[in-house]
Amino acid sequence: MSPVVGGRSRIDRPFAIAYVRRMTKRTILTIPDSQLREVCAPVQTVDDGIRALADDMLETMYDAPGIGLAASQVGELKRLFVLDVAPEDAPRNPLVFINPKIVWSSEETSVYQEGCLSIPEYYEDVERPAVVKVQFQNRDGEDQELEANGLLATCIQHELDHLNGTLFIDYLSKLKRDRVLKKFTKQAKLAGKI
Ligand code: GNR
Ligand code: NI
Protein backbone atom coordinates (compact mmCIF):
# COMPACT_ATOMS: atom_id res chain seq x y z
CA MET A 1 0.00 0.00 0.00
CA SER A 2 1.42 3.36 -0.97
CA PRO A 3 1.14 6.07 1.66
CA VAL A 4 -0.98 9.02 0.63
CA VAL A 5 0.18 12.56 1.37
CA GLY A 6 -2.21 15.45 0.76
CA GLY A 7 -4.42 13.31 -1.42
CA ARG A 8 -1.60 12.14 -3.75
CA SER A 9 0.48 9.00 -3.51
CA ARG A 10 4.17 9.52 -2.79
CA ILE A 11 5.06 8.23 -6.22
CA ASP A 12 3.21 11.22 -7.76
CA ARG A 13 5.91 13.61 -6.62
CA PRO A 14 7.63 15.10 -9.68
CA PHE A 15 11.05 13.67 -8.84
CA ALA A 16 9.60 10.15 -8.70
CA ILE A 17 10.28 10.17 -12.45
CA ALA A 18 13.91 9.36 -11.58
CA TYR A 19 12.83 5.88 -10.52
CA VAL A 20 11.09 5.04 -13.78
CA ARG A 21 13.50 6.62 -16.29
CA ARG A 22 13.89 4.27 -19.23
CA MET A 23 17.03 4.07 -21.33
CA THR A 24 16.85 6.39 -24.29
CA LYS A 25 18.34 5.84 -27.69
CA ARG A 26 20.60 8.74 -28.70
CA THR A 27 21.54 9.92 -32.18
CA ILE A 28 25.00 8.79 -33.31
CA LEU A 29 27.06 11.57 -34.90
CA THR A 30 28.85 10.80 -38.17
CA ILE A 31 31.87 12.37 -39.84
CA PRO A 32 32.57 15.18 -40.57
CA ASP A 33 30.79 16.33 -37.33
CA SER A 34 33.36 18.47 -35.50
CA GLN A 35 32.35 17.06 -32.08
CA LEU A 36 34.03 13.80 -33.10
CA ARG A 37 37.33 15.72 -33.22
CA GLU A 38 37.14 17.20 -29.71
CA VAL A 39 39.20 16.07 -26.71
CA CYS A 40 36.68 14.97 -24.06
CA ALA A 41 36.84 16.20 -20.47
CA PRO A 42 37.36 13.92 -17.44
CA VAL A 43 34.27 12.83 -15.52
CA GLN A 44 34.52 14.50 -12.10
CA THR A 45 31.93 12.39 -10.26
CA VAL A 46 30.30 9.10 -11.24
CA ASP A 47 26.74 10.14 -10.36
CA ASP A 48 23.25 9.18 -11.52
CA GLY A 49 23.59 11.51 -14.51
CA ILE A 50 26.69 9.66 -15.71
CA ARG A 51 25.01 6.29 -15.09
CA ALA A 52 21.97 7.43 -17.11
CA LEU A 53 24.27 8.52 -19.94
CA ALA A 54 26.12 5.17 -19.85
CA ASP A 55 22.78 3.30 -19.96
CA ASP A 56 21.60 5.42 -22.91
CA MET A 57 24.90 4.71 -24.68
CA LEU A 58 24.49 0.95 -24.15
CA GLU A 59 20.93 1.10 -25.50
CA THR A 60 22.17 3.09 -28.51
CA MET A 61 25.09 0.71 -29.09
CA TYR A 62 22.92 -2.47 -28.94
CA ASP A 63 20.33 -0.88 -31.21
CA ALA A 64 22.86 0.23 -33.86
CA PRO A 65 24.16 -2.54 -33.54
CA GLY A 66 27.78 -2.05 -32.51
CA ILE A 67 30.26 -3.47 -30.02
CA GLY A 68 31.41 -0.14 -28.57
CA LEU A 69 30.36 3.48 -28.27
CA ALA A 70 32.16 6.54 -26.95
CA ALA A 71 30.31 9.47 -25.33
CA SER A 72 31.54 11.92 -27.99
CA GLN A 73 29.72 9.83 -30.62
CA VAL A 74 26.44 10.95 -29.01
CA GLY A 75 27.65 14.54 -28.54
CA GLU A 76 28.62 14.24 -24.86
CA LEU A 77 32.23 15.40 -24.61
CA LYS A 78 33.04 13.33 -21.52
CA ARG A 79 35.65 10.64 -20.96
CA LEU A 80 33.58 7.47 -20.95
CA PHE A 81 32.75 4.67 -23.32
CA VAL A 82 30.76 1.45 -23.31
CA LEU A 83 31.61 -1.93 -24.83
CA ASP A 84 30.18 -5.39 -25.28
CA VAL A 85 32.34 -7.78 -27.28
CA ALA A 86 30.38 -10.91 -26.29
CA PRO A 87 29.46 -13.14 -29.26
CA GLU A 88 25.87 -12.64 -30.48
CA ASP A 89 24.77 -16.06 -29.20
CA ALA A 90 26.28 -15.44 -25.72
CA PRO A 91 24.69 -13.52 -22.83
CA ARG A 92 25.24 -9.75 -22.94
CA ASN A 93 28.33 -8.43 -21.16
CA PRO A 94 27.95 -4.64 -20.98
CA LEU A 95 31.07 -2.81 -19.78
CA VAL A 96 31.35 0.86 -18.80
CA PHE A 97 34.77 2.58 -18.82
CA ILE A 98 34.96 5.99 -17.15
CA ASN A 99 38.16 8.10 -17.27
CA PRO A 100 40.03 5.24 -18.95
CA LYS A 101 43.82 5.31 -19.18
CA ILE A 102 46.08 2.80 -20.94
CA VAL A 103 48.93 2.20 -18.48
CA TRP A 104 50.74 -0.46 -20.52
CA SER A 105 50.63 -1.76 -24.07
CA SER A 106 52.45 -4.68 -25.65
CA GLU A 107 55.18 -4.46 -28.29
CA GLU A 108 53.32 -7.23 -30.07
CA THR A 109 50.64 -5.93 -32.41
CA SER A 110 47.56 -7.38 -34.03
CA VAL A 111 45.51 -6.38 -37.03
CA TYR A 112 41.71 -6.20 -37.03
CA GLN A 113 39.33 -5.00 -39.66
CA GLU A 114 37.76 -2.04 -37.87
CA GLY A 115 34.52 -0.22 -38.41
CA CYS A 116 33.00 2.77 -36.66
CA LEU A 117 29.38 3.75 -36.11
CA SER A 118 30.42 7.33 -36.93
CA ILE A 119 31.73 6.17 -40.35
CA PRO A 120 28.94 3.76 -41.36
CA GLU A 121 29.69 0.82 -43.66
CA TYR A 122 33.39 1.56 -44.03
CA TYR A 123 35.90 -1.07 -42.88
CA GLU A 124 39.69 -1.19 -43.02
CA ASP A 125 42.49 -3.11 -41.33
CA VAL A 126 44.18 -1.29 -38.43
CA GLU A 127 47.31 -2.44 -36.57
CA ARG A 128 47.43 -1.75 -32.83
CA PRO A 129 49.15 -3.16 -29.73
CA ALA A 130 47.77 -6.68 -29.18
CA VAL A 131 47.54 -6.43 -25.38
CA VAL A 132 46.76 -3.39 -23.22
CA LYS A 133 46.37 -2.75 -19.52
CA VAL A 134 43.69 -0.16 -18.81
CA GLN A 135 42.76 1.65 -15.61
CA PHE A 136 39.29 3.16 -15.33
CA GLN A 137 36.28 3.67 -13.07
CA ASN A 138 33.26 1.44 -13.51
CA ARG A 139 29.54 2.37 -13.45
CA ASP A 140 29.70 2.37 -9.63
CA GLY A 141 32.70 4.73 -9.60
CA GLU A 142 35.07 1.99 -8.40
CA ASP A 143 38.69 1.96 -9.62
CA GLN A 144 39.40 -0.99 -11.91
CA GLU A 145 42.34 -2.39 -13.85
CA LEU A 146 41.90 -4.76 -16.75
CA GLU A 147 44.37 -6.54 -19.02
CA ALA A 148 42.77 -7.08 -22.39
CA ASN A 149 43.74 -8.90 -25.56
CA GLY A 150 42.08 -9.82 -28.84
CA LEU A 151 39.03 -7.89 -30.00
CA LEU A 152 38.54 -6.39 -26.52
CA ALA A 153 42.02 -4.78 -26.64
CA THR A 154 41.36 -3.37 -30.10
CA CYS A 155 37.97 -1.98 -29.08
CA ILE A 156 39.31 -0.37 -25.91
CA GLN A 157 41.94 1.44 -28.01
CA HIS A 158 39.40 2.42 -30.70
CA GLU A 159 37.06 3.88 -28.02
CA LEU A 160 39.83 5.61 -26.09
CA ASP A 161 40.94 7.23 -29.35
CA HIS A 162 37.42 8.69 -29.72
CA LEU A 163 37.83 10.44 -26.35
CA ASN A 164 40.90 12.20 -27.79
CA GLY A 165 39.22 13.09 -31.09
CA THR A 166 41.04 10.36 -33.03
CA LEU A 167 39.25 8.11 -35.53
CA PHE A 168 40.47 4.83 -37.03
CA ILE A 169 40.73 6.46 -40.46
CA ASP A 170 43.57 8.56 -39.02
CA TYR A 171 45.74 5.40 -39.20
CA LEU A 172 45.09 4.89 -42.91
CA SER A 173 46.92 6.41 -45.85
CA LYS A 174 46.06 10.04 -46.64
CA LEU A 175 44.59 8.85 -49.92
CA LYS A 176 42.10 6.48 -48.20
CA ARG A 177 41.27 8.97 -45.43
CA ASP A 178 40.63 11.84 -47.85
CA ARG A 179 38.49 9.57 -50.03
CA VAL A 180 36.20 8.55 -47.14
CA LEU A 181 36.05 12.09 -45.73
CA LYS A 182 35.05 13.45 -49.13
CA LYS A 183 32.31 10.84 -49.50
CA PHE A 184 30.80 11.56 -46.07
CA THR A 185 31.11 15.35 -46.48
CA LYS A 186 29.18 15.12 -49.74
CA GLN A 187 26.50 12.98 -48.01
CA ALA A 188 26.21 15.46 -45.11
CA LYS A 189 25.74 18.34 -47.57
CA LEU A 190 23.02 16.46 -49.46
CA ALA A 191 21.29 15.72 -46.13
CA GLY A 192 21.48 19.41 -45.22
CA LYS A 193 23.64 18.68 -42.18
CA ILE A 194 26.30 21.12 -43.32
O1 GNR B 1 30.85 -1.64 -33.68
C2 GNR B 1 32.07 -1.46 -33.80
N3 GNR B 1 32.85 -2.47 -34.26
C4 GNR B 1 34.23 -2.45 -34.22
C5 GNR B 1 34.92 -3.41 -34.95
C6 GNR B 1 36.30 -3.44 -34.93
C7 GNR B 1 37.00 -2.52 -34.19
C8 GNR B 1 36.33 -1.54 -33.48
C9 GNR B 1 34.96 -1.51 -33.48
S10 GNR B 1 34.11 -0.31 -32.56
C11 GNR B 1 32.66 -0.14 -33.49
C12 GNR B 1 31.68 0.78 -32.77
C13 GNR B 1 32.26 2.17 -32.69
O14 GNR B 1 32.28 2.96 -33.58
N15 GNR B 1 32.81 2.49 -31.55
O16 GNR B 1 33.40 3.69 -31.39
NI1 NI C 1 34.08 4.24 -33.39
CATH of 18-190, one of 3.90.45.10, 2.40.37.10, 2.60.120.260, 3.40.50.300: 3.90.45.10
Contacts of 179 (CB under 8 A, 6+ apart): none
How many whole angstroms separate alpha carbon 38 and alpha carbon 112?
Answer: 25
CA distance 33 to 23: 24
Ligand 1 contact via 84 beta carbon (within 6 Å): no
Q: How confident is residue 185, by pLDDT bands cut at 50, 70 and 90? A: very high
Residue 118 CA to ligand 2 center (angstroms) comes to 6
CA gap 63, 57 in Å, rounded: 10
Which residue in 54, 164, 175, 159 sits closest to 114, CA to CA?
Answer: 159
Q: Is 78 in the pocket of ligand 1 (CB under 6 A)?
A: no
Q: Is 60 in the pocket of ligand 1 (CB under 6 A)?
A: no
The yes-or-no answer on residue 159 being catalytic is yes
Rounded to 5 degrees, φ, ψ at 179 are -65, -45
Check whether the bond before 120 is cis (ω within 30° of 0): no
1, 12, 17, 120 from 5: Cα distances, Å: 13, 10, 17, 52
| Residue 4: predicted pLDDT | 39
Q: What's the pLDDT tens digit per position in 13-30? A: 555 555 667 789 999 999
Q: What is the pLDDT of residue 194?
A: 87
Residues β-bridged to residue 124: 114
Angle at 39 between CA 37 and CA 42, to 5 degrees: 150
Q: Write down the pTM of the prediction.
A: 0.91
CB 181 within 8 A of CB 175: no
Contact yes or no for 154/168 (Cβ under 8 A): no
Mutate which of 158, 162, 166 for ligand 1? The one with the most ligand atoms within 8 Å of its CB, which is: 158
User: Could you state, in order of their start, the residue ranges of all structural domains in the chain?
Assistant: 18-190
DSSP state of 118: T
Q: From the CA of 67, give the closest atom in ligand 1.
A: 1
**Ligand 1 close to Cβ of residue 128 (< 6 A):** no
pLDDT at residue number 22: 79
pLDDT digits (tens, 9 = 90+) for 49-100: 999 999 999 999 999 999 999 999 999 999 999 999 999 999 999 999 999 9
Q: What is the DSSP letter of 41?
A: B
